[in-house]
Amino acid sequence: MLLEFKMKNFKSFKEELDFKMIPSQIKDLEYSLICKIVNGKKISGLSSATIYGPNSAGKTNIIGGMDVLRSIILKGNIRNNEKMTTPDAAVDRLELIPNIESESDEPVSFYIKFLTQGIIVEYKLSVLLGKFADLEYDRKIISEELIINNTMIYMRDNDLTIGKVNNINEFLIENFSKDTAEKISKTNLDSKELFFNGMFKSLYSKKIFDIIYEWFRDDFKIVYHADMIHFSPVISSENKEKKYYIDKSLNKAIKDFGLTSKQIAYPMNGDKDAIEPLSMIESKGKNVILPAEFFESFGTIRFLNIFPIILMTIIKGSTLVIDELDASIHPMAIMNIINIFHNDEINKNGAQLIFNTHNPIFLNNALLRRDEIKFVEKEDKGSIQYSLSDFGTNGSNGVRNTEDYMKNYFVNKYGAIKDIDFSDIFTEKMRKEDKN
C-alpha cells in the first residue's frame, strides 16, 4: 500500500511535490479507506486518487517520477539504459529529469513510503544529474536512506551510517557481523550504484531486500501512456492443445462494456511475443474470425488491454498508477472501477488505483473523497500539486463535501484550470482566406 511519494527538481516540479495517499481528517466515504494493523497500530490509506489539471501542467510528471524511482530501484544504479524500455524516455535517459529552468547542478530527490508484508518502508534517494540534457555530467548519488518501521537502518552520503539493525534481527543474514559489514561497506561505496541493491543485500539483509524489491517489481505497477498497453494472456498447460484461448472473465467484462462481436479469443501461436486478440463473429450462419482491431472500436480495444491489469491489481492488492486511464473509455466504466476499489467486500487485499484525467464527471462527492481529488497547476516557478481537502471547510475558500465539485471546478474555484480561446487564431486565418 502506497502511503506517500515525494520528489523535487523533477521536470516541471522544481519545488517539492508531496503526493499523499494517507487520509485527511475528514468524514467522506470512510468505508473506502484501506486499514491495516502494523505492530498493534492502525495504518490507513486511500484506495484511489484522481489527478486533474490543464495540459502540460505536470500531471504525467507525477506518474513519471514514480516510474523513474521504480526503475532505479529495480536496476540498482543511476546509469542510462542501453535500450529504450518504456514510452517514458526519462526512465532510460536520466539527463531528461532535472528541471529545465535550473541554473545550477541541483540534486534530484525522491522519497517513498509504503506498507508491505507488515513492514512500513521509507526510502530516500538524492542524486546529482547535472543540468537538463547534460550528457557529459558525471552523475552521482549524494544520499540514500532506508527506514523500516520508523527506525533508520542505514544512511549513506559521503560516508555510511548504520542504524539500529538489531530492530530487524529476524531478517539479518546468517552470522551477521555489524563491524565487518560496516567496514566492508564503507570501503566499497560506488557513486552510481545503490547501496540497497549491493552491499545491503549481500552483507545485511537479503530478506528485507527481497521484500522491498518485490513490492516495487510486482505490487507497484505503473502504466505510462495507457494506450500503448498490449495484454497477452498467460496460457495454462491444459489449454495448450486448443486452437484459440478464450478468457471467460475478460469476455464477460468486455460484453458489459460493449462488445460488437460474439466473443474475443487469442490464437494459440506461441511464436509471437505479443498475442493479438481476435474477434469471433457470427454472420449469416458462418463463423468469421478477424483481428479485433479490424472490428472493435478503439475504446473497446483499450479496455480489452487495460481490464486484465486492473483485475490482477484487485486480486493481488497492488498499487496501480495509470496515465490517461479513461481516454476513449466511457466514464461509467471508470466510475464502476473506482467503486470496486472503494468496495472492501471486493477489494479485500487493499488495492489502490491512481490515474490522471481531464474528465470532470469524476468530480463527484458520492464517488471520491476530497483527499482523493488531486490538482496540478503550473506557476512561474513550476508545477504544484494539492488536494481538494487542502482547502479546509471554513471561510470563503473552504470546500464542504456537499458541494458541486464539478461546477465549482469550471468556475475556477479550485484552480488547475485554464481559460482557452482559439477564436482569434480562426478569425485571423479566415480573414486571410477571404483576402485570397
For every one of its 436 residues, what pLDDT tens digit does the chain have, with 9 covering 90 and above?
A: 999 999 999 999 999 999 999 999 999 999 999 999 998 999 999 999 999 999 999 999 999 999 999 999 999 999 999 888 888 899 999 999 999 988 889 999 999 999 999 999 999 999 999 999 999 999 999 999 999 999 999 999 989 999 998 889 999 999 888 888 888 988 889 999 999 999 999 999 999 999 999 999 999 999 988 777 777 776 665 656 678 888 888 888 988 887 777 888 888 865 555 678 888 898 877 888 888 888 888 888 888 889 989 999 999 999 999 998 888 889 999 999 999 999 999 999 999 999 999 999 999 999 999 999 999 999 888 999 999 999 988 877 889 988 999 999 999 999 999 888 999 999 999 998 888 7
Predicted pLDDT of residue 318: 98
Predicted pLDDT of residue 238: 62
Predicted pLDDT of residue 26: 93
User: Do 296 and 302 contact (CB within 8 A), yes or no?
Assistant: no
Dihedral sign (CA 413, 418, 424, 427): negative
Predicted pLDDT of residue 239: 58
Q: Which of 128, 301, 315, 168 is nearest to 231 (CA)?
A: 301
Predicted pLDDT of residue 301: 86
Count CB atoms within 10 A of the CB of residue 1: 25
Predicted pLDDT of residue 167: 85
Predicted pLDDT of residue 78: 97
